[in-house]
A and B are shown apart, each in its own frame.
Chain A
Amino acid sequence: MAKYKVLELLTSLSMGKDIQPGAVIEIDDDQAAAILLERGCIIPAEMQKKTAEVKSINFEIKEK
């Protein structure tokens, strides 16, 4: 089971409700996750974290 950040409005079958962009969700179905990734609806939450880390490092370098 992996965590993903929602980029586009999702309609969840299992939860029976909409999931707004910005929410972090867990998807245990790899095939479903792959489809949503390919469509740009979600990104891995870990990647989001790493991107933030890179931005933070870049900011520190600029400050120096």
Chain B
Amino acid sequence: MTQITGALSAVNAAVQYSANGSTWTSDLSGAGNKVTVGDAARMSGAKYTFDGDVAIITTGKREPIEITFAFVYTEGASDAYKLLRDLHEAEDGTAIYMRWIPKGLTVGNFVNTVGPVKITNFKDPENDPESGDPLMFEITVLAPSITRSTYST
């Protein structure tokens, strides 16, 4: 097989937030540092019988997916930290939409969207005097699935 071309790094990736899934005014790429997508598993089971040497396998429904977004911590009134923390701490939690675009904001690139979802975990920055790294915080959302679309004009 001929070696593939078109491999990419996350150098131009983008992360965006929306309150309603249609207006994507909050581009968090300036603070976004990492998107970690958990396993997209399907339930499965195995049972053995006295006869035969191998298991009987059955499969079930698709399990929810945990997605963790890491951001650089800053304290501006409209910065990612305050925006997302307020959404998490609102009574009952506020439903949000998140999306990430691995190849960046140009036509033809894949867009991954989740929502409406609620932040299921908010991790404040670790304050370590022995580190010179920027402070980071993380949010985790639990989504039933990830919707893939393609960026168009």
Contact = CB atoms under 8 A, between A and B. Distances in A.
A41 B111 CA distance: 13
Contact of B150 (A8, A25, A27, A29): A8
Contacts of A31: 107
B23 A8 contact: no
Contacts of B9: none
A9 B150 contact: yes
B4 to A, nearest CB: 16
Contacts of A39: 108, 150
Contacts of B147: 9
A61 interface: no
B24 A12 contact: no
A17 B150 contact: no
Task: Count chain B CB atoms within 10 A of each CB in A9, A11, A32, A35 and give the residue with the most.
Answer: A11
A17 B22 contact: yes
B42 to A, nearest CB: 22
Contacts of B58: none
Interface of A: 8-14, 16-19, 25, 27-29, 31-32, 35-36, 38-39, 41-42
29 contacts: A8-B150, A9-B147, A9-B148, A10-B149, A11-B111, A11-B113, A11-B150, A11-B151, A11-B152, A12-B152, A12-B153, A13-B152, A14-B153, A16-B22, A16-B23, A16-B24, A18-B149, A25-B152, A27-B152, A29-B107, A32-B107, A36-B107, A36-B108, A36-B150, A36-B152, A38-B108, A39-B150, A41-B150, A42-B152
Q: Which 8 A-B pairs have the closest CB atoms?
A: A35-B108, A9-B149, A10-B152, A32-B107, A11-B149, A11-B111, A32-B153, A41-B150
